[in-house]
Chain A
Amino acid sequence: MEKILVGLKRVVDYNVRIRVKSDGSGVETDGVKMSINPFDEIALEEALRIRERGEASEVIVMSIGPSDAQQQLRTGLAMGADRAILLETADAVDPLSAAKAMKQIIDDESPDLVLLGKQAIDNDNNQTGQMLAALWQRPQATFASKIDVDGDKLAVTREVDAGLETIEVDLPAVVTTDLRLNEPRYVKLPDIMKAKKKPLDSKAFADLGIDADDAFEITSYSTPAQRSKGIMVDDAAGLVSALKDKGLI
């Protein structure tokens, strides 16, 4: 295949403990560490491995987000992507609009494979890839834990509730990644320097003519009910009798 397009979303780093603002208007994001969505880093790693095996020639990373998302795209370039596209907007973008924007990039670039994360760990939506596949009328292989390229088709192993499902899809296709697909490489310092010279093309999201969908209004944010610390028992006998008291065993 020729081109692989990879989505990189800028999200709050997975190690940050999220706190709801005291007035319930949102979550605290001021000054917190931002990173590439972990599933997207896996998507990029997979694209790079496919290219390094000679099964693709170019890897393009794209992001829809604020100007600061350039940082995540630069990291992607430092990992090894060839070039980057930023669709810049200060507003949060819903999955359907994100999929429509990606479809426009696809119309320009004609990639053979689009690799996305299975979900962005901020809103946990898990929908963009499936939506893109629907709009593009192409195959979707979600929750991938193994991808084998075979000419103009892929065999994808998917992590499903029942175990491991394998499907075969013709290219072009959309694949979304699960955690066990691979372990992303670390970025080396010289690569960060090199990445500065790689092309990063920035466009205004507003110029795409996509009406952001405003059907969902978040009226409040709250902290989930917390479980509290219970009792400690001294030994197995104490544990079994506590469970018997509760009628659980």
Chain B
Amino acid sequence: MSNILIIAEHADGVLNPATSKCVACARTIDDASITVVVIGDGIDAVAASAAQLDGVSKVLTSSVTADMQLLSAAIAPQVAEIAADYDYVFGPSTTFGKDVTPRVAALLDVNQLSDVMEVVDARTFKRPIYAGNAITTVRVKPDYKIVATVRAASYKAVGEQAAAPIESVSIDCELPTHTRFVNVQSGSSDRPDLQTAAKVVSGGRALGSEENFSVIYGLADRIGAAVGASRAAVDAGYVPNELQVGQTGKIIAPELYLAFGISGAIQHLTGIKDAGTIVAINKDEDAPIFEVADIGLVGDLFKVIPEIEAALN
């Protein structure tokens, strides 16, 4: 039996879909017995969703106050304590998972396997290095607890099952006073979430201003897509940081990715290599993005977008 513990990510009482991707990865390990641990405040609905993820055999809940649930210094000792009974600990390769999982690994005195993209066998994994320009196959020695983050874009969410049992645990760990949560600011919108959307419309430096970026939002809304951006567009202040796609932004795998005025730097392409269909619109016919685009169109985005909208009508 391979006992696998998955750290649930959640916010505002909702389970993050990245948790489901971790379950999908864990299920590819032979003889897996999968437990999800949910730590936080007001987590009943989150635990209930986790219990319905196909392949989960148990959900553990541990309650900490809302101002602690995002702090790794508070959560990691709890996970490390529970992990004593497990062979594997998985977290998602989101900013939450990247923050907490290495802290768990250090408490367990092991290294972490970052961004697992494939399970070869129970102790052998594939992971990208050099911004995805090389893939390594890593074998982990026996009797070494495997702590890993799962590259969400490499896995599809699992289906639903009849709810697995939910158990609450109380862990005797001191909560830190040296770290205090202040707030999260997000430009929350009604648009689909960039990380899970089936379609994404993205804009680059070519948009030129925050005002001009409205043409990207307009097209996205017209086709029910999420909005993304290159680093150059974020750095220039056209859009908030959470829309950045790429090596240091979000790694996504939508069915359709439309890139307007993005040159196709390697760090940007790292974020979209698992996309189904990549469409590039760029006025420079030599832009590197055309080398990876399934459909390319040379043109001025400010002309092309209204034309696309007209053709859709």
Q: Give the B-binding residues of A (Cβ under 8 A).
A: 12, 17-18, 20, 27, 94-96, 99, 121-128, 130-135, 138-143, 145, 155, 158-170, 173, 178-180, 213-224, 227-243, 246, 248-249
Q: From DSSP, what is the main secondary structure of chain B's interface residues?
A: mixed
Whether A163 contacts B138 in the complex (CB less than 8 A), given A127-B111, A232-B298, A237-B311, comes out as: no
Bound together, the chains give a CA A210 to CA B103 distance in angstroms of: 19
List, in ascending order, chain B residues with CB within 8 A of A223's CB.
133-135
Report the nearest A residue to B141, measured CB to CB. Answer: A215
Residues of chain B within 8 A of A142, CB atoms compared: 95, 98-99
Residues in chain B near residue A132, CB distance under 8 A: 106
What separation, in Å, do the CA atoms of A249 and B223 have in the docked complex? 7
Contact A221/B135 with A12-B130, A161-B96, A231-B295 known, Cβ cut-off 8 Å: yes
| Chain A, residue nearest B309 (CB) | A236
Cα–Cα, bound, A122→B292 (Å): 23
Q: Do A161 and B95 have beta carbons less than 8 Å apart?
A: yes
CA distance A18 to B266 in the complex (A): 11
CA distance A238 to B255 in the complex (A): 19
Q: In this complex, which of B112, B187, B299, B312 has the most chain A Cβ atoms within 10 angstroms of its Cβ?
A: B112
B191 contacts A by Cβ under 8 Å:
no
Chain A nearest Cβ from B208, distance in angstroms: 19
B277 CB–A CB distance under 8 Å:
yes
Contact yes or no, B106 A135, CB < 8 A: yes
Measured CB to CB, the nearest residue on chain B to A222 is: B135
- A residues in contact with B95, CB < 8 Å: 142-143, 158-161
Known contacts A27-B130, A133-B73, A233-B297: does B105 contact A127 (CB below 8 Å)? yes
The docked-state distance in angstroms from the alpha carbon of A234 to that of B281 is 11
Please encode chain B, from 99 to 126, with 1 for each CB lying within 8 Å of some chain A CB and 0 for all others: 1111101110111111100000000100
Are B184 and A162 in contact, with the CB atoms below 8 A?
Answer: yes
- Interface residues of chain B, those whose CB is within 8 Å of chain A, are 11, 70-73, 76, 94-96, 98-103, 105-107, 109-115, 124, 128-141, 144, 176-188, 195, 199, 223, 231, 234-235, 240-242, 248, 250, 255-256, 266, 273, 276-279, 281, 290-299, 304, 307-308, 310-312
Distance in Å: Cβ of A143 to nearest Cβ of chain B: 6
Q: Contacts of A221 on B, CB cut-off 8 Å? A: 134-137
How far is B130's CA from A238's CA once the two chains are assembled, in angstroms? Answer: 37
A134 in contact with B307 given A18-B134, A125-B114, A139-B179 (CB within 8 Å): no
Contact call A240/B312, Cβ cutoff below 8 A: yes
Q: Do A167 and B182 have beta carbons less than 8 Å apart?
A: yes
Report the separation of the CA atoms of residues A120 and B185 in the bound assembly, to the nearest whole angstrom. Answer: 27
Asked if B105 and A167 sit within 8 Å, CB to CB, the answer is no
B129 contact set on A, CB distance < 8 A: 27, 122-124
Name B255's closest neighbour in chain A (CB-CB).
A248
B134 contacts A222, CB within 8 Å?
A: yes
Q: Closest 5 CB pairs between A and B?
A: A163-B186, A236-B307, A127-B102, A230-B294, A131-B106
Q: A134-B76, A163-B185 are in contact. Are A219 and B137 (CB under 8 A)?
A: yes
Known: A222-B135, A229-B292, A249-B223. 11 other contacts (CB 8 A): A12-B130, A27-B130, A131-B106, A159-B242, A160-B95, A161-B95, A164-B185, A217-B141, A220-B136, A232-B296, A237-B307
Q: How far is the CA of A156 from the CA of B96 in the complex (A)?
A: 16
A-B contact pairs, 14 of them (CB 8 A): A18-B130, A126-B114, A133-B73, A133-B103, A135-B106, A163-B184, A165-B70, A166-B184, A215-B141, A219-B124, A220-B136, A221-B136, A230-B296, A235-B307
What is the minimal beta-carbon distance from B153 to any residue of chain A, in angstroms? 13
